[in-house]
């Protein structure tokens, strides 16, 4: 991922230096287990642990000759260790190291993403209660529908991100799996106990069965989970982009001192964070498709997955980390205009209360079909001829036979639309709030 969208902690996790450190961590764990089991001399394992260090520049230099990064890595380590290096990588194949190290990287990436998810959840919780009883017009098909609570939007998003958190926890469990089973996964040169002990040392579970590689449905689950979370963040950001439109202007991104919105138009305050989040969601979603295509490989393995994974695993992790961080910033600082929401509620001159009027007429004994016809008649008059919907309804003789003026006035009130918000919040956040 380009530096522009890379935050320090996640970027460091996916650095070349850290990748090689994880490879070495796996190699050293294998040496220690071999020494415990008497496969290699204890003093050799101790010497390897004492002297082995990663040197990124040297590994890259050797790889120019080997065209194999794992061999370049073991060769660079052997140069430091000396004679004891003959016991390094004992009984292993490259994927034993790479895939088990990937499990460590993916597990740690999940931990960072879970922490960022928790931060966003807290922001959504706070803003939900802040605007719990703030009325806003609800929209379907982009058209004004009925009143709702602005806080319900954040409650909805909180509930969705809670599901995303559970997905991410499941993905973490799925990818935190190692394999030390040899060239085709048949343990020809290793006792399965080596795998079990190594994985235990590293805080991983051993794959119940593997080929030369960890099966890529595990990585696909991780990548599709990230894509789902990215899609949710895109959904939230897209809403901000609508709210910030000039003719809507119910909420907008915080615009800091010194910020510029346009090189040509000094008045502009654009939803750049929201648009950036929407754009990066496309990248994460596209990467998940490559992850799915990596599931099907030839026989016990081929290497067609490797090149794609070198891009999609770090890029998706880094991109989603950035998206979560910026989403938290965006919604924590979102500037909200309740007065503008009230203005927009009145924009259709009362048409948003048509559903409530329909129900009142049916309760008064009018058939639903007839009531719908009466209400729609007055609604279309308001759309086409102007005027106020309530006034048209009050003038309608057929409606007046079934509803009093006082009943009609009550229908054109926001109270009915906000009366059950507390109960919904109890379901989302619990009754202790």
- Host domain of residue 378: 351-411
- pLDDT value at residue 257: 82
pLDDT at 431: 76
Quick one: pLDDT at residue 417? 84
Instruction: Tell whether 378 is covered by a domain.
Output: yes
Burial of 420 (0-12, 13-18, 19+ CB in 10 A): exposed
Does residue 388 sit within a domain? yes
Rounded to two decimals, the pTM is 0.94
The distance of Cα 421 from the centroid of its chain, to the nearest Å, equals: 27
Task: Summarize pLDDT for 6-37 with one digit per residue, the tens.
Answer: 999 999 999 999 999 999 999 999 999 999 99
Q: Is residue 63 part of a domain?
A: yes
Is residue 173 included in any domain, yes or no?
no
Whole-angstrom Cα distance, residue 275 to residue 233?
11
213-262 pLDDT per residue, tens: 999 999 999 999 999 999 999 999 999 999 999 999 999 998 878 888 77
Instruction: Answer with the one of 66, 90, 114 that is the final residue of a domain.
Output: 90
Q: How far apart are CA 188 and CA 190, in angstroms?
A: 6
Q: What was the pLDDT predicted at 416?
A: 81
Return the active site residues.
Answer: 141, 262
pLDDT band (50, 70, 90) for residue 433: very low
Instruction: Specify if 364 maps to a domain.
Output: yes
Residue that is last in its domain, among 56, 90, 124: 90
Check pLDDT > 90 for residue 264.
no
Answer whether residue 231 is part of any domain.
no
pLDDT in tens, 327-372: 999 999 999 999 999 999 999 999 999 999 999 999 999 999 999 9
**What per-residue confidence (pLDDT) applies to 138?**
95
Alpha carbon distance 185, 167 (integer Å): 29
Query: For the chain, what is the HEC assignment?
Result: CCHHHCCHHHHHHCCHHHHHHHHHHHHHHHHHHHHHHCCCCHHHHHHHHHHCCCCHHHHHHHHHHHCCHHHHHHHHHHHHHCHHHHHCCCCCCHHHHHHHHHHHHHHHHHHHHHHHHHHHHHHHHHHHHHCCCCEEEEEECCEEEEEEEHHHHHHHHHHHHHHHHHHHHHHHHHHCEECCCCCCCCCCCCCHHHHHHHHHHHCCEECCCCCCCCCCHHHHHHHHHHHHHHHHHHHHHHHHHHHCCCCCCCEECCCCCCCCCCCCCCCCCCCHHHHHHHHHHHHHHHHHHHHHHCCCCCCCCCCHHHHHHHHHHHHHHHHHHHHHHHHHHHHHCCEECHHHHHHHHCCCCCHHHHHHHHHHHHHCCCCHHHHHHHHHHHHHHHHHHCCCHHHHHHHCHHHHCCCCHHHHHHHCCCHHHHCCHHHHHHHHHCCCC
- Residue 426 within a domain: no
pLDDT, tens digit, for every residue of 167-210?
999 999 999 999 999 999 999 999 999 999 999 999 999 999 99
Mean pLDDT of the chain: 95
Whether residue 403 has pLDDT greater than 80: yes
**CB crowding 164-193: b at 16 or more within 10 Å, else e:** bbebbeebbebbbbbbbbbbebebeebeee
Taking only the tens place, the pLDDT of each residue in 28-82 is 999 999 999 999 999 999 999 999 999 999 999 999 999 999 999 999 999 999 9
**How many domains does the chain fold into?**
2
Q: Residue 401 is part of a domain; what is its CATH number? A: 1.10.40.30
- Domain end position, chosen among 41, 62, 90: 90
Residue 202 lies in a domain: no
Identify the pLDDT of residue 210: 96
Query: What CATH number does the domain containing 66 carry?
Result: 1.10.275.10
């Amino acid at each position: 991922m380009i530096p522009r969208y890379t935050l320090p902690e996640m970027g460091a996790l996916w650095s070349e230096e850290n990748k090689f450190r994880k490879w070495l961590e796996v190699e050293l764990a294998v040496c220690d287990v071999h020494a415990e089991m008497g496969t290699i001399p204890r003093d050799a394992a101790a010497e390897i642990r004492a002297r082995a260090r990663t040197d990124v520049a040297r590994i890259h230099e050797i790889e120019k000759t080997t065209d194999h990064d794992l061999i370049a890595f073991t060769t660079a380590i052997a140069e430091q260790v000396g004679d004891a290096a003959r016991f390094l990588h004992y009984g292993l194949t490259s994927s034993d190291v790479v895939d088990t190290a990937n499990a460590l990287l993916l597990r740690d990436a999940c931990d960072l993403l879970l922490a960022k998810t928790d931060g966003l959840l807290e922001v959504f919780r706070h803003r939900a209660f802040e605007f719990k009883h703030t009325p806003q017009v609800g929209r379907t098909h982009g058209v004004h529908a009925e009143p709702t609570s602005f806080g319900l939007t954040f409650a909805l998003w909180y509930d969705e991100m809670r599901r995303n958190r559970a997905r991410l926890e499941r993905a973490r469990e799925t990818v935190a799996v190692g394999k030390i089973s040899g060239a085709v996964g048949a343990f020809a040169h290793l006792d399965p106990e080596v795998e079990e002990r190594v994985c235990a040392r590293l805080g991983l579970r051993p794959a119940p069965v593997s080929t030369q590689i960890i099966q890529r449905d595990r990585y696909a689950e991780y990548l599709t989970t990230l894509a789902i979370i990215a899609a949710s963040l895109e959904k939230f950001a897209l809403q901000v982009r609508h709210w910030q439109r000039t003719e809507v202007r119910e909420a907008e991104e915080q615009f800091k001192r010194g910020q510029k919105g346009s090189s040509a138009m000094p008045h502009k305050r654009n939803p750049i964070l929201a648009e950036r989040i929407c754009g990066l969601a496309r990248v994460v979603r596209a990467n998940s498709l490559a992850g799915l295509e990596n599931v099907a490989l030839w026989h016990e393995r081929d290497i067609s997955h490797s090149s794609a994974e070198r891009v999609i695993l770090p890029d998706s992790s880094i991109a989603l980390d950035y998206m979560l961080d910026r989403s938290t910033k965006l919604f924590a600082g979102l500037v909200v205009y309740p007065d503008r929401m009230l203005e927009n509620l009145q924009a259709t001159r009362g048409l948003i209360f048509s559903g409530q009027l329909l129900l009142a007429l049916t309760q008064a004994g009018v058939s639903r079909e007839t009531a719908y016809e009466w209400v729609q008649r007055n609604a279309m008059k308001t759309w086409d001829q102007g005027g106020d919907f309530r006034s048209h309804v009050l003038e309608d003789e057929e409606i007046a036979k079934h509803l009093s003026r006082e009943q009609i006035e009550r229908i054109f009130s926001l109270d009915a639309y906000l009366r059950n918000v507390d109960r919904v919040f109890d379901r989302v956040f619990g009754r202790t709030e």
